[in-house]
Structure 1
Amino acid sequence: MTDRDELTLADEIVARARIHAREVVADDRLPVDLGAVEWAVSSRARRRAGCCRWDADRDVATIVLARRAYERYDWPAFAGIVRHELVHAWEFQRFGESGHGDRFRERAAALEAPRHCEAFAEPRYVLRCRATGCDWQANRHRASKPVKSPDRYRCGDCGGVYEVEHVESGRTWTDASGYGGAKAALGEKW
């Protein structure tokens, strides 16, 4: 075997996912047409452990699994992610759409698949409601609009204003100028 012939980690992930998918389909727990499922691995994904994309023109579902999640989770947890994405593939194949509603919840529960996957990476930012008595918060991995301009948004629970924390440095801000100031002050550490 030459260096070019060696299997990569992505090959391993796809091989294990395909084997697991065949096991799930073989015992009639989920009638997915695996012939209409393609597999891919993302080395860039930081938030999502997996996703399922539907190509309606070809009637093909592509399940994309995150390499970082595979490295972080043990196999039983990662296999749950594979089952989660297979439920999406089944919904797309059968209904042309997929979400996390009642139909998904029922199938995922039957497969002992998580409805939502645990985060496998630490967030870069945390949004928090500043209102007294409200403990709402959300993790963010990218500088989304609410991260850059938290003063333009309100808490969905109580209507309070947000504060954003840059997790690594502990710096916080409540408006766009605070975001710019924190980014400038941190420089390369941003």
Structure 2
Amino acid sequence: MTDSEEYTLDDEIVARARIHAREVVSENGLAVDLSSLEWEVSARAQRRAGACRWHANRGVATIVLARRAYERYEWPAFAGVVRHELVHAWEFQQFGESGHGERFREQAAALEAPRYCEAFTEPRYVLRCLTADCDWHAKRHRASKPVKSPDQYRCGVCGGSYEVEHAESGRTWTTASGYGGAKAALADEW
């Protein structure tokens, strides 16, 4: 950078993540080739604090970190996200694939990395089972098909019907027409 350029928040995120990655690799013997690791920051991510993409043709893993998560988490929690994504990078580099299976769980536990990261934004929609003795629920950030047409889908646990709640307004619906009605009624508040 030249004297006239300023460091951005994204520069800070990448710098801290790289430093932490070097520490994790050197202190724990994690076999990640840091020279085959790229870093990006997403200003758009709303659900995932991090992601790791594998570019098999180049043998490079790209760790993408969410700016909003960095702004909302304290550093120890965000460092956990970095370690989580490093485990994915390790799996990609060593095995050509990655998931959240046993191999991932073992390596994540060794690095004290969370298996899943806490949400850093509130969902726009909450799906809840209507069966009395079932407590299944799911959170959604986008108006996906199960949000727009809940009568076409079933509870993920008991197979019963569910309702969708627009989290901000509390308005609920169980059908596609109910979704349309809620959206029309809320208008600008949607």
Q: TM-score, normalised by structure 2?
A: 0.97
Q: Where does structure 1 differ by over 4 angstroms across 4 or more consecutive aligned residues?
A: none
For 1:179 and 1:126, the matched residues in 2 are separated by 13
2:51 maps to 51
Aligned length: 188
User: What amino acid is the match of 1:72?
Assistant: R
2:90 maps to 90
Unmatched 5+ residue regions in structure 1? none
Give percent identity, aligned residues only: 78
For 1:93 and 1:175, the matched residues in 2 are separated by 45
For 1:110 and 1:176, the matched residues in 2 are separated by 46
Unmatched 5+ residue regions in structure 2? none
Contact 1:29 1:111 in 2 (8 A): no
Structure 1 residue 30, shift from structure 2 partner: 1.1
Structure 2 SS opposite 1:39: strand
**163-172 or 20-29: bigger deviation:** 20-29
For 2:127 and 2:17, the matched residues in 1 are separated by 34
For 1:30 and 1:177, the matched residues in 2 are separated by 52
1:24 maps to 24
**26-35 or 159-168: bigger deviation:** 26-35
User: What amino acid is the match of 1:46?
Assistant: Q
For 1:149 and 1:21, the matched residues in 2 are separated by 43
Structure 1 residue 102, shift from structure 2 partner: 0.4
Q: How does 1:120-135 map to 2 (within 5 A)?
A: 120-135=120-135
Contact 2:124 2:142 in 1 (8 A): yes
User: What amino acid is the match of 1:35?
Assistant: S
Q: TM-score, normalised by structure 1?
A: 0.97
Structure 1 SS opposite 2:12: helix
